[in-house]
Amino acid sequence: MIFAAIPALADTVVYGDVALSGGFQAGHFDDVYDLTAGAITISFTYDGNGLVDDFGGDAHAWAELGVRSVGYSDFNPKSNGDPAQKKVDLIAGQHTDVGDVIVWHDDVNLYVRYVITDPEVWCITETHLQVATDPDEIPQKNGNPIPGKFDFKDEHNCVEEFLYEIPLTWDVETPLYIAAHSVVKELSCYQDAVLYGT
């Protein structure tokens, strides 16, 4: 028997018995709740009567009931990453993967994070970012983006990550075109030295 208290309605919903027939089973109810609207209480009873070990003593069984974000898988919800994030490689030159650019949003901001994956070898010295609702709104010349003319830009003192927080001025369902550029420095090419002169 499964019970869930819906915060917006302050009522109790009874889903009745859910029979499991074995194997790896995972599912969800179609209800979606705004957990910021108030507390929710979920309770369930697991009846293992009649449970048969078909695997000769090497099997185990359990039941879970919980809350997951919309878009996650039902079985092991964190296994497929955050569906609301988009991650692309940060490429130095033309072929060297030095990190990632990760994009996500909430109800207030769009977030774009530049991250170096090996900070002992690389660091970020500049970032440039353009966000548009049409690809033609990205500054270009002959089809190539012009990072120096992007709306968001910053210089950095050799950092391993940087985050832009951009207030949402469009509906969260609006498709966006994002151009992200950075200047990175390979640290192995630079060494501190003591210079002597006369």
- Using CA atoms, how far residue 15 sits from 1, 28, 44, 49, 96, in Å, is 7, 11, 10, 20, 53
Mention every residue, 6+ apart, whose C-beta is less than 8 A from residue 162. Answer: 113, 114, 124, 127, 154, 156
- Residue bearing tokens 């185990």: 60
Dist. CA 161–CA 127, nearest whole Å: 10
Structurally, the chain folds into a number of domains equal to: 2
Torsion of CA 49, 51, 57, 60, to 10 degrees: -100
Last residue within a domain, chosen from 30, 63, 83: 83
Tell me the pLDDT of the chain (198 aa) as tens digits. Answer: 344 444 444 567 777 777 766 555 666 677 777 777 767 777 777 676 766 655 555 555 556 666 666 555 555 444 444 556 888 899 888 888 999 999 988 778 888 999 999 888 899 999 999 999 999 999 999 888 899 999 999 999 999 999 999 998 888 778 889 999 999 998 876 544 444 443
Q: Do 78 and 94 have their domain in common?
A: no
Residue 68, domain extent: 1-83
Q: Do 182 and 102 have their domain in common?
A: yes
Dist. CA 114–CA 130, nearest whole Å: 14
Is residue 198 a part of any domain in this protein?
Answer: no
Dist. CA 86–CA 79, nearest whole Å: 16
Q: Determine contact, residues 113/101, Cβ cutoff 8 Å.
A: yes
Cα-flanking dihedrals φ and ψ of residue 79, to 5°? -70, -20
Q: Do 64 and 107 have their domain in common?
A: no
Q: pTM of the predicted model, to two decimals? A: 0.56
